[in-house]
Homo-oligomer: A and B are copies of this chain.
Amino acid sequence: MLCLTDEVTDTYRRILLAARPRGLVDDSTLLIDDTAEVPEPADGQALVAVRHLSIDPTIRTWMDDAPGYLPPIAIGDVVRSGGLGEVVASRTDAFSVGDTVFGMLGWQEYALVDGADSSLAVVPQGLDPAVVLGVLGVTGMTAYFGMHDIGRVASGETVVVSGAAGATGSVAGQLARIAGAATVVGIAGSDDKCAWLVDDLGFDHAVNYRTEDVGDRLRATCPRGIDVYFDNVGGGILDAALANLARNARVVLCGAISQYNEDRPVGPANYLQLIVTRSRMEGFLILDYLERFPEAQLEMAGWVMEGRIHHREHVVHGLDHAGEALNLLFSGGNTGKVVVAV
């Protein structure tokens, strides 16, 4: 006998990809559908009420019909997204009613999940959902493994982070400081964000790319050149960083938010500086580090509690606003992690 909580209604809301966007998402590319019936879990399944969505730039890349690390979201499918939810019905030993689970729950009020799906994790109770999705979640983990495993930051080095007021960038810069970097420079898109980086997060310098010449400022703030450049944005800012590399530098390719809404990305014209400076540019995907999350999360949780890592979340209320929340990442309207409270 299946026991659904009273939260379950007959139908539920979900956001479908109606058409492939060119540029930002809008009403012509996203469809809010409230006609689907709340499903009942089959044997081995559980029903999850989605509470919070993790809004990440990579979601936009999944909307393109282009080769990527995951298949494109099919037209008519629910928008793929990480999220936190509460198990409200279960026919699997893997999840109990009341469990909080993290996984690819999608932009919808309910998700049917499989007890055998190893990508789902039960999250301890009592943690702030925004922290679970942010600094201890995929964005924080991306900063951690990107800065350490790919950037190989070392004591005394000069580190520059773009998208530095974002969920990943803000943590990446603070991790560089904890690792003993001599100089940490953040690049962000407003004076308020720059003030937050320097005053609250302990960056040595912040560059407002909308009002300052990034190349000039990097030359001035990094006189010995950049040892680690953690890139979230691509475009002209990546080129400015390439022009200021130290010898044997490491360029960590985390993302290219300036390019995701373009039909065709612009490549970094200064890439030959990688030869002149004997440097490398390397990409990574956080999917490859899932097994090492627990150790990293433990370390990060310690730093958060010690006040050595600060974080901010930008919570958007209402599933219907998930598209606008995604667009915030590209307009720079957020500081820190963007979360939708469903």
A265 to B283, CA, bound (A): 22
Q: Within 8 Å CB of A255, what residues of B? A: 275
* Chain B contacts for A267, CB-based, 8 A: 239, 266-271
A267 to B267, CA, bound (A): 4
Given that A278-B288, A288-B278 are known contacts, is A272 also in contact with B283, CB under 8 Å in the complex?
yes
Q: Is the CB of A283 within 8 A of B278?
A: yes
Q: Is there a chain B Cβ closer than 8 Å to A264's Cβ?
A: yes
Size category of the binding interface on chain A:
20 to 34
Q: Tell me which of B68, B253, B279 contacts A274 (CB under 8 A).
A: B253
Which 3 pairs of residues, A with B, have the shortest CB-CB distance? A267-B267, A275-B283, A274-B283
**Docked complex Cα distance between A256 and B278 (Å):** 15
* CB <8 Å contact, B288 and A272: no
- A281 touching B274 in the complex, CB below 8 Å, given contacts A239-B267, A267-B267: yes
Question: Are B268 and A253 in contact (CB-based, < 8 A)?
Answer: no
User: Does A284 have its Cβ within 8 Å of any Cβ on chain B?
Assistant: yes
Q: Are B277 and A280 closer than 8 Å at their CB atoms?
A: no
Would you call A276 and B239 a contact (CB within 8 A)?
A: no
Cα distance, A267 to B272, chains bound together (Å)? 9
Q: Inside 8 A of A278's CB, which chain B residues have their CB? A: 283-285, 288
A280 to B272, CA, bound (A): 14
Taking a contact as CB atoms under 8 Å apart, the answer to whether A277 and B266 are in contact is no
Within 8 A of B (CB), among A173-207: none
- State whether A264 touches B259 (Cβ < 8 A): no
Return chain B residues, CB-CB under 8 Å to A234.
272
Q: Does A126 contact B (CB under 8 A)?
A: no
